[in-house]
Each structure stands twice: as structure tokens, then as C-alpha cells.
């Protein structure tokens, strides 16, 4: 298994921290050109600092023993709030554990904000949306997503998800070997195209769109975080992909607008039409450019989070040292089928009953979060109280980081945190995701910043894996993969080969 303490996901997390330090340095220099930093609070009130030789030793320890072990030591030594200090450049304050994390996820934008940290997303999605606009506009655009991704609308999309999954895997033969990464990516893009992008994209453009989204994803590398416009080959492909996707989406948007009304009820339910119909509070309609960019953003985020999670879920179930997890997931699907006496399962009514599969997916996200760490800027002095009872003030200008992957490996919350243990970990009697409060589990963020697409993600992944577990006997052919470190998308490295054979007793 890819142990986060000595490579794989942990190595990615360490690299992410290093890159966040670089971003913070660049942002800090930019801000110095435009304004003077307010006076910091007294040294006695600031969090303990890791600097100089101690910081260097921590970095060397992370390389030798793994980043999670290195941060465990600093956590034990300095407490759940401490600062990595590069004098004259940047101060990066880590918030470790649920008690400290609540300030990160609940503090208002007046206290901590994204600042300029996520401006690297602008060349991914284009101008006029996300982190290219002010907070008020971004909040309204978030409202558009919230309406389109409401649980009742996701439920209405389940039948379409099922159709896409059944159609895609009907192309498999009686037996064979496939690359699980490729299969997950393509199946999920079909779902996204059907439910988010619209009928037109699904029916005539899906192959091109799939290739373009891959180029877009490959253009999000670590160097992109602080030099997003550097003319590297990957960035040039990213830019060409964004331009072409925008052209394709704009063509569909204009066609729908010119027709005056959707041609079917199903079309009216897709996200594209909802974004076209959205209005800002002042009554202004969304522009074609805004709708295209908003579509790019939501599909990119949803597709790649779900693709990574679906793939890692399969890897763990099919290659885990404890085969009871796979057996329990299959048994749950067989029981659901048996309850329908061999008739077609009504997924809209049973997806919420797939508790075993849900926990398997949730455990996957705990071990392989899409974002192993999140960062924001302190806009004014932020008072915090730690698990240990210490009180600090994080000064304005600091970058604060929520250590998602570290939080998911805290021993006082998660028993044997490096072990994949979905049924026991989240089942009755343990429920470790809530053991230390609301911020024990951060797989889909939390508080003011909770992921709007969580319900959609869980639903499409459950529909996909429900079909596979009911209809195929699956086995890992490849060894357990490491995590790919060259991009910001924490996918498995290399191909993930899986053998399959159709189950005669399965039902579609």
C-alpha cells in the first residue's frame, strides 16, 4: 500500500506545502508594492515558530521519515498551531487538528480570505469568474452552483447517470483487462457531459471534450501555482484547450438562446441551462463568456475529484490486504438486487441505502483527499485557541494552512490511520469522522467552504461502482500504485490494470 508517511500522497503533501510557501512569498512581495503591512501583535501572543536550523532539520526529517511523521513531531513539540518562518519573506502558520481547523473554515472573509493565492486558476477557466472577480460577484456565482447542485436536482439526474454507466460498460466483453484510470475518467466524463454540459455536448462533442479536459488538467502543475503564465508546453496546451472548450460551449449557449426555450424537460434540468437562466441580484443575466467559464470550472473540479476518488476506491477494494471490504461491498449490492427480486433496481430510491459503498468512498477520500492542504491569507489579526488550551494571535499578513492530510492521520481521532478500514472506521460505535467534532473529517472541506458538489460526487461514484460490483468479478493486475507527483491532481501513477469477468448472476 502507498503509505503516506514515506512517499506517495505524503510526498505530494510536502511538495504542496513547499509550493504554498513559494506562493506566499510571491504574494507577499506583490502586496508590499501596493500597501504597508499593519503592525503585528506582540511576539508573546504569536504562535511558536519553526525557523532557521529547526526548520531545516524538519525539512530533512520529512525527506528521511516522511512528511506526516515530521509534522507529527512538530505537532507534539509545538502544539496544534505553529508557524514556519522564512525571515523577511513569509510566515506560514499551520492549523492542525479539528480544534484549530475551525478557525480556518468558519472565520469570515474579513478575517481570512483566499487573497491572491488561487489566481493560478484564471488561465484554467478564463476571465470573469472565480478568483478573477471580487468576492461579491464570486459569492453570487457560487449561488448559481448551489441551486444547480441541490440534492433534489442531483436525485433527478440519477436515471441519466445510470443510463450512461450501463451504456459505457456494455462495451466490455465477457472478460478482459483494462486500465482502470482510463475507464473511470471516460465513464465519469460521460456523466458530466450528460448532467452538466448538456445534450449537445454529450451527443456530438464528447470525444473531443474528453481530450481537451485532459490537456486542461495536465496544465495544472506545481509550477503553475506561482508561474501560471510561464510558456511551458503544458501551459500552451492548457491555453489551447481552454480556448477550444470555450468555443464549443459558446456555440451551444448561443444555439439555446436563439431557440428561445429548451427543447425538452431533460435539457431544462442540466446545469448549462440553469447557468444560462441565472441572474445576479441586480437583475443582470449571465454572459456567454461567464456561462462557458463557470461550466469549465465546475466540470473540471467535479470530474477530476470524482475520477481520482473512483480510481483510488477501486484500487483499495481490489488490492487491499483485507478482502472483507470488497466482499462487504459486493454483498450489499447483491442484497439490494435480491430485494427487487431480479427486477431493475430503482437507483433513485436506493443510492442512499448503499452505506457500505459510501463508507468505502469516504475512506478513500480520507487517505487521498483531492486537496491535501488548503491555504488562505490572514486579513486581520486572528485569535485562536488550541486543543492544548493555548491562546495565540496569528498576525495579519500570515498565510494559514489547513493540513487536511495530516488531520486525517491524527492518532487520537483515527485508529490505525494508515489502514484502509471503511466499515469499522465510520460505522456505529466508532464514527471517527465525528469523534472530535465537525472538523475531524475534511474530505470535502467544511464550514463556510464546504464543497458544493459533494452530493453529486458521491452519487455518481456510487452509481458507477454499484454497477461494476454487481456485474463483474474484478481483480487488480498491477501492483498498488504510488501517487503521481508531477501535477496537482493526486491521481495514481501510471496505468492501473484490472482484469474483469462478467458475473452471470448480475443484473444491470
Express each pLDDT in 155-178 by its tens digit. Answer: 888 999 999 999 999 999 999 999
Q: Is 208 helix (H, G, I), strand (E, B) or coil?
A: helix
* 31-38 mean pLDDT: 40
* 373-380 mean pLDDT: 92
Report angle CA 430, 432, 436 to the nearest 5 degrees: 120
Please check the confidence at residue 115 and state whether its pLDDT lies above 50: yes
- Model pLDDT, residue 380: 92
- Model pLDDT, residue 399: 92
Kindly report, residue by residue over 395-425, the tens digit of the pLDDT: 999 999 998 999 999 999 999 999 999 988 9
Q: Say which residue the cell 463508507 belongs to.
A: 359
> Which of the four pLDDT bands, split at 50, 70 and 90, describes residue 487?
low
CA 419 to chain centroid: 21
* Other CB atoms within 10 Å distance of the CB of residue 38: 12
* 178-197 mean pLDDT: 91
* 139-147 mean pLDDT: 89
Per DSSP, 391 falls in state: E
The residue among 242, 240, 267 whose CA lies nearest residue 253 is 267
- Model pLDDT, residue 224: 86
- Model pLDDT, residue 508: 43
* 176 or 46, greater pLDDT: 176
| Average of per-residue pLDDT values in the chain | 85
> Which of the four pLDDT bands, split at 50, 70 and 90, describes residue 100?
very high
- Which residues touch 283 (CB under 8 Å, ≥6 apart)? none
Please check the confidence at residue 284 and state whether its pLDDT lies above 60: yes
In whole angstroms, how far apart are CA 291 and each of 121, 170, 275, 288?
16, 34, 6, 5
Question: Which residues of 124-273 form beta strands (DSSP E)?
Answer: 175-179
Distance between CA 507 and CA 393 in Å, rounded?
Answer: 59
User: Could you give the dihedral angle defined by the CA atoms of residues 160, 165, 166 and 167, in that order, rounded to the nearest 10 degrees?
Assistant: 90
- Model pLDDT, residue 486: 61
* 126-146 mean pLDDT: 91
* 192-211 mean pLDDT: 84
* Other CB atoms within 10 Å distance of the CB of residue 256: 20
* Kind of pairing between the strands at 49-51 and 81-86: parallel
* Kind of pairing between the strands at 175-179 and 399-402: unpaired
Please say whether the beta carbons of 433 and 426 come within 8 A. yes
* 90-111 mean pLDDT: 91
Please say whether the beta carbons of 221 and 489 come within 8 A. no
Q: Any idea which of 11-15, 274-278, 389-393 has the lowest mean pLDDT?
A: 11-15
- Model pLDDT, residue 366: 95
Count the alpha carbons within 13 Å of 203 in the hemisphere toward its beta carbon.
5
Q: Any idea which of 23-37, 216-230, 429-443, 493-507 has the lowest mean pLDDT?
A: 23-37
DSSP assignment of 219-241 equals T-BGGGGT-TT---HHHHHHHHH
Q: Any idea which of 27-31, 203-207, 312-316, 447-451 has the lowest mean pLDDT?
A: 27-31
pTM across the whole model: 0.87
Please check the confidence at residue 39 and state whether its pLDDT lies above 90: no
The residue among 451, 403, 448, 452 whose CA lies nearest residue 108 is 448
As a residue count, the chain comes to 508
The domain made up of 127-370+458-508 has a fold known as Cytochrome p450 (1.10.630)
Distance between CA 90 and CA 23 in Å, rounded?
Answer: 10
The grid coordinates listed for 431 are 464514527
* 262 or 474, greater pLDDT: 474
Kindly report, residue by residue over 238-260, the tens digit of the pLDDT: 999 999 999 999 999 999 888 76
- Model pLDDT, residue 151: 85
> Which of the four pLDDT bands, split at 50, 70 and 90, describes residue 194?
confident
* 277-289 mean pLDDT: 94
- Model pLDDT, residue 261: 55
Please check the confidence at residue 479 and state whether its pLDDT lies above 80: yes
User: Could you give the dihedral angle defined by the CA atoms of residues 192, 195, 197 and 203, in that order, rounded to the nearest 10 degrees?
Assistant: 90
* 265-294 mean pLDDT: 86
Please check the confidence at residue 9 and state whether its pLDDT lies above 50: no
Domains of the chain, residue spans: 1-120+371-442, 127-370+458-508
Amino acid at each position: 500500500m502507498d503509505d503516506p508517511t514515506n512517499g506517495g500522497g505524503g510526498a505530494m503533501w510536502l511538495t504542496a506545502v513547499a509550493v504554498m510557501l513559494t506562493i506566499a512569498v510571491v504574494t507577499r512581495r506583490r502586496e508590499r508594492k501596493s500597501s504597508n503591512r499593519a503592525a503585528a501583535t506582540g511576539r508573546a501572543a504569536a504562535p511558536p515558530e519553526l525557523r532557521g536550523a529547526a526548520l531545516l532539520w524538519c525539512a530533512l526529517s520529512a525527506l528521511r521519515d516522511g512528511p506526516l511523521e515530521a509534522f507529527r513531531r512538530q505537532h507534539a513539540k509545538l502544539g496544534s498551531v505553529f508557524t514556519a518562518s522564512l525571515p523577511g519573506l513569509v510566515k506560514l502558520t499551520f492549523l492542525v487538528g479539528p480544534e484549530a481547523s475551525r478557525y480556518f473554515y468558519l472565520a469570515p472573509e474579513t478575517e481570512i480570505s483566499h487573497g491572491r493565492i488561487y489566481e493560478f486558476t484564471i488561465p484554467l477557466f478564463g476571465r470573469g469568474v472565480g478568483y478573477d472577480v471580487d468576492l461579491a460577484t464570486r459569492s453570487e456565482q457560487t449561488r448559481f452552483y448551489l441551486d444547480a447542485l441541490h440534492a433534489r436536482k442531483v436525485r433527478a439526474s440519477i436515471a441519466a447517470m445510470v443510463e450512461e454507466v450501463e451504456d459505457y460498460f456494455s462495451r466490455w466483453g465477457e472478460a478482459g483487462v483494462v486500465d482502470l484510470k482510463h475507464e473511470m475518467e471516460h465513464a465519469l466524463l460521460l456523466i458530466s457531459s450528460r448532467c452538466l454540459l448538456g445534450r449537445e455536448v454529450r451527443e456530438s462533442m464528447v470525444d473531443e471534450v474528453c481530450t481537451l479536459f485532459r490537456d486542461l488538467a495536465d496544465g495544472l502543475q506545481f509550477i503553475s501555482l506561482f508561474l501560471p503564465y510561464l510558456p511551458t508546453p503544458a501551459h500552451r496546451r492548457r491555453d489551447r484547450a481552454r480556448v477550444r472548450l470555450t468555443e464549443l460551449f459558446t456555440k451551444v449557449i448561443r444555439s439555446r438562446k436563439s431557440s428561445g426555450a429548451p427543447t425538452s424537460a431533460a435539457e431544462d434540468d442540466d446545469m448549462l441551462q440553469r447557468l444560462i437562466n441565472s441572474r445576479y441580484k441586480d437583475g443582470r443575466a449571465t454572459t456567454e463568456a461567464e456561462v462557458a467559464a463557470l461550466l469549465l470550472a465546475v466540470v473540471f473540479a467535479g470530474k477530476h475529484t470524482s475520477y481520482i476518488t473512483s480510481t483510488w476506491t477501486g484500487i483499495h477494494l481490489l488490492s487491499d490486504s483485507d478482502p472483507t471490504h470488497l466482499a462487504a461491498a459486493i454483498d450489499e449490492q447483491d442484497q439490494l438486487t435480491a430485494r427487487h427480486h431480479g427486477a431493475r433496481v430503482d437507483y433513485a430510491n436506493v443510492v442512499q441505502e448503499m452505506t457500505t459503498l459510501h463508507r468505502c468512498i469516504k475512506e478513500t477520500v480520507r487517505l487521498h483527499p483531492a486537496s491535501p492542504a488548503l491555504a488562505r491569507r490572514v486579513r486581520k489579526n486572528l485569535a485562536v485557541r488550541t486543543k492544548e488550551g493555548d491562546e495565540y494571535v496569528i498576525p495579519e499578513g500570515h498565510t494559514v494552512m489547513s493540513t487536511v492530510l495530516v488531520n486525517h492521520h491524527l492518532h487520537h481521532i483515527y485508529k490505525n490511520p494508515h489502514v484502509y478500514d471503511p466499515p469499522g472506521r465510520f460505522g456505529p460505535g466508532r464514527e471517527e469522522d465525528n469523534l472530535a467534532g465537525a472538523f475531524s473529517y475534511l474530505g470535502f472541506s467544511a464550514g463556510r467552504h464546504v464543497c458544493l458538489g459533494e452530493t453529486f460526487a458521491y452519487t455518481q461514484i456510487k452509481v458507477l461502482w454499484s454497477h461494476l460490483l454487481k456485474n463483474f468479478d474484478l481483480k487488480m493486475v498491477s501492483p498498488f500504485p504510488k501517487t503521481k507527483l508531477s501535477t496537482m491532481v493526486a491521481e495514481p501513477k501510471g496505468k492501473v490494470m484490472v482484469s474483469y469477468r462478467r458475473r452471470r448472476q448480475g443484473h444491470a
